[in-house]
Amino acid sequence: MLKKLLITMLVGITVLGAMAQGGKLTVKGTFEGRKDSVTIEVVDVNSWETIAKETRAITGEMHELSFDLNDAGLLSVTDVKGLTTVLPAIPGETLLFYQNDHKVTHLGGSQFYVDYDEAQQTIEPILLGLNECNKHICGEFGPLTWDEYNLYTMLCLRLYNDALINEVHNYIKAHPDQDAAAALIFVFAFDTKEIERAAAMLTERARSSVAANLYKAVNRQTVVRDVTSSAD
């Protein structure tokens, strides 16, 4: 009974939070550098259900889409090669995809996405390194010996994970009142300890922002999962 009551309360908090944070997200861009077409999908992190999904052909012309959101979520842009970019979807904001003089895609639009572009640039090399480690561990480059497996799991992953924690902490310390810093904490999804450590570095205003609902949603889900496991 206690387990069911606690889970009901936590789910209720999630729903109430979503109702209070609604708005429209506008997405613009030419999506240059992507082949043929892109699929844009918005996911609700409270339920992990797809809110909206659209496919747009690459024409060189500016696309503009809008999504009605109840709360902060995730937006993914996937091309025909399967290359996916995942970003925060924040109600009330405008996201612009553009390329600089070196044909590198950046984020612009409202101040949130300008800030998040800066934050993302600091951790992107580390995330790419983690991805490569995981590919080796999963055998995408061929079978591993036991020593090679230990190298990638015990050394490679640990080094990149420690680097990610340090970089996120450094960014938050430098921008403690920034909504983008709050959204960045989502990279620690389902790691309650790291989420709480990073969130403690934010100002109270940033912890109360819509962007902070991203890490709060997965943290609540982790608590529900742990309570359920311990009560079974």
12 CB-near residues (< 8 Å, 6+ apart): none
Sign for the CA dihedral angle at 151, 156, 159, 162 comes to: negative
**Residue 27 has what pLDDT?**
94
> DSSP per residue over 183-226, as a string?
HHGGGGTT-HHHHHHHHTTS-HHHHTSSTTHHHHHHHHHHHHHH
Q: How many CB atoms lie within 10 A of CB 82?
A: 6
As given in the structure block, the two tokens for residue 210 are 């819509």
User: How many structural domains is the chain composed of?
Assistant: 1
**Residue 221 has what pLDDT?**
78
Q: Which residue has the tokens 């309360």?
A: 9
**Residue 165 has what pLDDT?**
92
H-helix or E-strand spanning residue 79:
strand 73-79
CA–CA distance, 89 with 109 (Å, rounded to integer): 13
Is the predicted pLDDT of residue 159 greater than 50, yes or no? yes
pTM of this structure: 0.78
pLDDT tens per residue across span 74-116: 999 888 777 788 999 999 999 999 887 767 788 999 999 999 9
CA–CA distance, 210 with 34 (Å, rounded to integer): 30
**Residue 140 has what pLDDT?**
73
Domain containing residue 31: 2-231
